[in-house]
Amino acid sequence: MNPGLDALIAEFRRTGTLSGLPREHFIHGAYQPGSGSAALETFDPGSGQAFAQFAAGGAAEVDQAVDAARRALRGAWGDAAPAERGRTLAAIAQQVREHADRLALVESLDSGKRLCEAQADVRGVVRAFEYYAGAADKMQGDSFPLDKAYVGFSIEEPVGVAAQIIPWNYPLGTAARGIAPALAAGCTVVAKPAEQTPLSALMLAELASAAGLPDGVLNVVTGEGAAAGAALVSHPGIQHITFTGSVATGQQVMRAAASHVTRVLLELGGKSPLVVLADADVEQALHGVLGAIYENAGQICSAGSRLIVERSLHGQFIERLLDRVGQLGLGHGLTNPDVGPVNSLAHLNRIHAHVASAAARGNPVLAGGSVAHPACAPGGWFYRPTVIEASCAQDAVVQQEIFGPVLVVQQADDLEQAIALANGTDYALAAGIYTRDIGRAYRFARQVDAGQVYINEYFAGGIEVPFGGNRRSGFGREKGLEGIRSYCKLKSIVARV
């Protein structure tokens, strides 16, 4: 029987760690120590203290994992009927559900996010495997209207071995949204979690094995990006790469993939606009703005990090917003504060450098703007919830992704200017609008370049809704049925009869 959440939290507070945490790579259905003894530490951002060690892998471990994945593709998983794959994914969902408390706690400790957010992430993982369990036997081809002497049709085939490069901000959720559709399509997977957050991907692979996933279908290699990640994306045995992360690293992934003409799906950064028009439900909009930027301490690619307010509403809206921002409390993720820590000391310093530079250029800092040291979480990596009024649309604080609890405010005279400002960066991941006028909301949705647009609720939707970006925010789509198509290759067949 699994220990309950309270017992797990008590164990962590008593010992500074948890028993049974994975330390090795997961390859061919079992934990493997790798070719060397090198290890890395993973830290609890709420305390700044290391709480676990894990293997530092590289090219040798990637070779082993890719070989295992290729053998599984030619064997039991490649031969499995789509319905059988669906049943296995449903069993994985059940395993995750049964171990939800432990997964959520580890995810909170590893990433720093609030426990309630980690619990929501685990529920999302269950839903992802349930959704793609149902989709596994629904991917069907088409027929072509040819001359009567011919029969033409198409079939969807798995692309092959898929690499997953998993980010540190949503390690378990992002892993599931790539792994689940890849498995549903019939692919095998080699995943490389971020070195800051390696544990939940390993735990997921172990649970998948317990659910009956054949050996070698899902493999996880841990280590630093320069060693394990680079070896994985440049490996000739990989047929597809899904990468979530920064633009600069995404460009490196594309260059590496080009040498073997490997398919790539990129979900990169964002500087997503959230527009509030004068006719909006102000209370609803205030709630939405706060969640859009301060959830997960702002460490979300699609965060609503640019608030564009219609000028006639600006003064009163910002006054009420600042009042609420000032009431947000900081604390360790396990205490479910209003805002948790950021993921690492290096990232904390990057956030503050962005804000300090913006202030030095004349952008007024209306709230926050500094590193915090809450008494309840000494040693943790915290940044005060921040609001900055942009001095101009071309300033770096508007144009560059900060990836932290920093909201940048712009003003617009009307909807047309709001749309122009929304389109005013090189990113095009998400956008949102609050208005009572559904016609104006639809105009905004049609004219703003973004992979997804939210109307009157930011982050609306779920696994059913395709997700991805345009321009510097990347290309390709995850989630929904588009997500499983990303792991398929279309074959056309024509027969003379």
Q: How many CB atoms lie within 10 A of CB 40?
A: 17
Tell me which amino acid residue 341 is.
Answer: P
For residues 445 and 433, give the distance between their C-alpha atoms in angstroms, rounded to a whole number: 8
In 268-317 the beta strands, taken as DSSP E runs, fall at 273-276, 306-310
Helical H runs in 259-310?
282-294
End-to-end CA distance of the chain: 61
Give rounded-to-5 percent helix, strand, coil for the chain. Answer: 40, 20, 35
How far apart CA 349 and CA 91 sit, in angstroms, is 42
Tokens of 246: 């920064």
H/E segment holding residue 372? strand 371-372
Going along 174-222, which residue ranges are E strands?
A: 188-193, 218-220
Which is it for strands 188-193 and 218-220: parallel, antiparallel or unpaired? parallel
Q: Which of 267, 310, 401, 478 is an active site residue? A: 267
CA dihedral 107, 270, 432, 332 (to 10 degrees): 30
100: enclosing H helix or E strand: helix 100-111
DSSP category for residue 202: H
Selected catalytic residue, list 130, 156, 206, 301: 301
Alpha helices per DSSP H over 243-307: 247-258, 282-294
CA distance linking residue 370 with residue 373, whole number of Å: 10
- Measured CA to CA, the distance from residue 29 to residue 72 in angstroms comes to 11
Q: Is 187 a catalytic residue?
A: no
Establish whether 376 is a catalytic residue.
no
Contact 207, 99 (CB under 8 A): yes
* Residues belonging to the active site: 267, 301
